[in-house]
Chain A
Amino acid sequence: MYGWMGTILKVDLTREKIFKEPLDRDLAANFLGGRGINSKILYDEVKPGIDPLSPDNVLIFGAGLLSGTIAPSCGRLTITAKSPLTGIHGDANSGGHFAPEMKFAGYDHIVFYGKAERPVYLWVDDDDIQLRDAHQLWGGDTWETTKAICKEVGDPEVQVACIGPAGESLVKFACVINSLTRANGRTGMGAVMGSKNLKAVAVRGTKAIEVARPDEFERACYEALDKIKAAPFYKVISVLGTPLLIRTTNATGRLITMNGQRGEFEEGVENLAGEAFLEKYVVKSKGCFGCPTHCSHFYAVEEGPYAGTREEGAEFDGGIASFGSRCGNSDLAACLRANHLCNRLGMDTICCGGTIAFLMECWQRGVITEKDTGGIALEWGNADAIVELVEMTAFRKGLGGIVAEGTARAAKRIGKGSERWAITIKGMTPNNGDYRATKGGAFAQCVSTRGSDHLRASPLVEYMRLTPEKTEMIFAERIGTTEGARALHSPRAYDGKASVVAWLENLLAAEDALGICKFNTWWWSLDMLGPVDLAKMASAATGTHIDEKGLMKIGERIYNIERCFLVREGITRKDDYPPRRWVEEPSPTGPAKGELIDPKRFEQMLDEYYAFHGWDKNTGVPTREKLEELGLKYIANELEKMGRLPPRAEEK
């Protein structure tokens, strides 16, 4: 096969048996790879209602279709399973170098079933696959584990994806770490690994990827490369990276502060700013596999109580805002320390910081006291408390045991009306944006198929648009109306945003199937790679003729199958709503002062969104017509048997 390596590795952990299955051509053609094929396998192989931490869950690693080639910034890995945090579809995406190595070893996907009797790790060495004893590694953090495995197999450059103590303790938002600091962070994939006694996956590959039409592929990739480098933000993001977002989101009232009470953190923004990070701590720039943007850094803290903290990082959502503005904390070094602990111990920074921030608000409102926290003073900005609590969470020690369950469960447990300030959607914590300011962004968070998420469709184009005419033109032909496209003029407008979100959801699903980093695509800015550029690379790689429509159809199919997974777990329209704070409390300060999400307008957005997707307006369930159009008749039949399928139009 071209583009793909053509093999799925299947590992039955219960019986410790390993199978190699040829990648089915139809599966590949209809779902492409990465998140796409992952989602299909998850839907087919996991029955509704199972416990995500039981052996019945299936854990899938997926390399993007274009991973490991000169397609720029395409080295991304997706890990998929039913989420222990949310109880619905879960997946997490990371950069680093793991996905390309999977392909160099000859595998597009690795699927884990069951549960090993003892701690194990999978060692994939080209065609040689072994499940090795990991009881010496169990208990170690991700850095110790990576080093130990490299030593054991005798190669310092083996790619390792592993869990730390957090995954072993089944922390609900435990993550998987590869390349020491690259996190498949969200939805608790690390806990799933922990529940299977799977400590790590190590890969080394000596094979090579071939593409069907090399000259055409080369041309498409180098054109894409030029486009990325010519984009207006290339310079700024390649120097500052995501930390630059601290000041830009703060200036526009979109930086989540003190558990989302405010959208600006004026008192702390100078200290947390990307510019401060760059001047004080950054040593050099770092990049993921095959990426010309190198938005990451290597940093070192050399003074103060957190001296000795050094690693690749840090990101706006990873550490800086999560433990900074979100917790009312302006001590940047403390944020970096907390970030480093999350990397070593294997936890999602967004959920970790988000849950700590929630508890801080509980403290602020007197709903919990020192009695409940075991003596920890959860004052806003108490940097020491934050760092201490992060470590306790990974081991479920004391108050950490409550943090480890995530915000939604913590709110249930604490009660006393704390649900009012629990910022979650479908059990998942939003990233560090205050979305009252941007109606489209808020909406995208509410409807994402993995719970609150900014990477499924956040229409950054609400702010980041070309000339109004150009943006209108681009979206008008894609969402079918000009009124909707016109709404993109303002982040405060509601009309038409829902259709743009729905369209972007389909595009970004395809992007995740290809393995490309969204910073280089229309998710970020319309000057970057769009569906036509992506389709060109995908076609030349695989030897097919996918155009924009074809690519969008695949994305739509992926998104619909994920939605159906949610439907099978009981998700309907009632679950697609914003956190209470966004609806009840207007943003108190800054340029977004007074903004909130109007519930009536939100209902209209839901109507528009379901209509665009071709789903039932009342329930948000994909209709038989839509599913059959996407070649998913068997799913329509299954949902019908469950009584979840909306009645056909004639039957109404």
Chain B
Amino acid sequence: MEKVFSIDPSLCTGCRYCEMVCSFTKERKFGPMLSRVKIIKIEEEGIDIPMLCMHCEDAPCKVACPVRAISRNDVGAIVINPDICIGCRACIIVCPFGAIKFDTKRGTLLKCDLCDGDPMCAKYCPTRAINFVVAGREDLIKRRIYVGKMVAPMIKGRKMVAVAEKWIERR
């Protein structure tokens, strides 16, 4: 069953636990520079948005690679083969999300590979702002939240319950 990332930025609290879990899982060290996922913040507005590789269906990075080093693996992740990669960074130029970085120290590209099908960022996100769901079901989370927020107030005094229930569902 193919799974995809489903992001809800309104739930991101900006805690950046995903960045630490990612860098630790992949590199056994803690550092945002090594993390494949990045939270972009506009603190004045209270905006926190997880930016990560969406493993596009029609991946521009795959198309742009001049040596065909980029392919989709069997868990559905777009991955770069370091043995073929020549480090030209065309993929970085074309990616609309900035999901690829170049590690100059090791001469390799850092990119999300879905952690063998169980992405750690989604696993440990405390509010499930980052979800890894069965493809085709990304809509359900949002629909349920909307119902909870908009329908519940019609039942007098139940709004607080809906807000809380939103959290309960996602744990």
Q: Are A288 and B160 in contact (CB under 8 A)?
A: no
Q: Chain B contacts of A143 at CB under 8 A?
A: 44
Q: Digitize B1-25: 1 where CB-to-A-CB distance is under 8 Å, 0 elsewhere.
A: 0000000001101111100110110
Identify which of residues 319-378 in chain A touch chain B, using a CB-to-CB cut-off of 8 Å. Answer: none
Identify which of residues 30-73 in chain A touch chain B, using a CB-to-CB cut-off of 8 Å. Answer: 68-70, 72
Q: Chain B contacts of A235 at CB under 8 A?
A: 164, 167-168
- Which single residue of chain B is at the shortest CB-CB distance from A285? B13
Bound together, the chains give a CA A296 to CA B15 distance in angstroms of 11
Looking at the complex, which of B28-36, B50-58, B69-77 is the stretch in contact with chain A?
Answer: B28-36
Q: Are B24 and A70 in contact (CB under 8 A)?
A: yes
Taking A97-B16, A143-B44 as contacts, is the C-beta distance between A294 and B126 under 8 angstroms? yes
Bound together, the chains give a CA A207 to CA B127 distance in angstroms of 27
* B17, B28, B30 pick with most chain A CB within 10 angstroms: B30
Identify B163's interface contact among A278, A292, A312, CB under 8 A: A278
Bound together, the chains give a CA A284 to CA B45 distance in angstroms of 11
Looking at the complex, which of A165-173, A208-216, A525-533 is the stretch in contact with chain B?
Answer: A208-216
Q: Does A238 contact B (CB under 8 A)?
A: yes
Q: Does B27 contact A (CB under 8 A)?
A: yes
Q: Does B142 contact A (CB under 8 A)?
A: no
Taking A239-B164, A279-B159 as contacts, is the C-beta distance between A208 and B34 under 8 angstroms? yes
Q: Are A290 and B20 in contact (CB under 8 A)?
A: yes
Q: Does B107 contact A (CB under 8 A)?
A: no
Taking A286-B14, A287-B14, A290-B15 as contacts, is the C-beta distance between A70 and B29 under 8 angstroms? no
Q: Chain A contacts of B82 at CB under 8 A?
A: none
Q: Does B46 contact A (CB under 8 A)?
A: yes
- Which single residue of chain B is at the shortest CB-CB distance from A182? B43
- Which single residue of chain B is at the shortest CB-CB distance from A279? B159
A12 to chain B, nearest CB (A): 29
Range of interface residues on B (Cβ < 8 Å): 35 or more
Q: Does B171 contact A (CB under 8 A)?
A: yes
Q: Chain A contacts of B23 at CB under 8 A?
A: 208
Bound together, the chains give a CA A333 to CA B41 distance in angstroms of 26
Q: Are B31 and A104 in contact (CB under 8 A)?
A: yes
Number of A-B contacts (CB under 8 A): 101
Q: Chain A contacts of B29 at CB under 8 A?
A: 208-210
Q: Chain B contacts of A298 at CB under 8 A?
A: 46
Identify which of residues 129-170 in chain B touch chain A, using a CB-to-CB cut-off of 8 Å. Answer: 159-160, 163-164, 167-168
- Which single residue of chain A is at the shortest CB-CB distance from B17? A290
Q: Are B43 and A70 in contact (CB under 8 A)?
A: no
Bound together, the chains give a CA A288 to CA B126 distance in angstroms of 12
A150 to chain B, nearest CB (A): 10
Taking A70-B20, A157-B41, A312-B46 as contacts, is the C-beta distance between A209 and B163 under 8 angstroms? no
A204 to chain B, nearest CB (A): 10
Bound together, the chains give a CA A298 to CA B127 distance in angstroms of 15
* B20, B34, B48, B159 pick with most chain A CB within 10 angstroms: B20
Q: Are B44 and A294 in contact (CB under 8 A)?
A: no
- Which single residue of chain B is at the shortest CB-CB distance from A541? B30
Q: Digitize A270-308: 1 where CB-to-B-CB distance is under 8 Å, 0 elsewhere.
A: 000001001100011111111111101010000000000
Q: Digitize A71-98: 1 where CB-to-B-CB distance is under 8 Å, 0 elsewhere.
A: 0100000000000000000000000010
B124 to chain A, nearest CB (A): 8
Q: Chain B contacts of A180 at CB under 8 A?
A: 43-44
Q: Which residues of A contact B (CB under 8 A)?
A: 68-70, 72, 97, 104, 143, 157, 179-180, 205-211, 214, 218, 225, 229, 235, 238-239, 275, 278-279, 283-294, 296, 298, 310-312
Q: Which residues of B contact A (CB under 8 A)?
A: 10-11, 13-17, 20-21, 23-24, 27-34, 41, 43-46, 48, 124, 126-127, 159-160, 163-164, 167-168, 171
- 19 contacting pairs across A/B (C-beta < 8 A): A69-B20, A69-B30, A208-B31, A208-B34, A214-B24, A214-B28, A239-B164, A239-B167, A275-B160, A278-B163, A284-B11, A285-B13, A286-B14, A286-B48, A287-B13, A291-B17, A294-B15, A298-B46, A310-B46
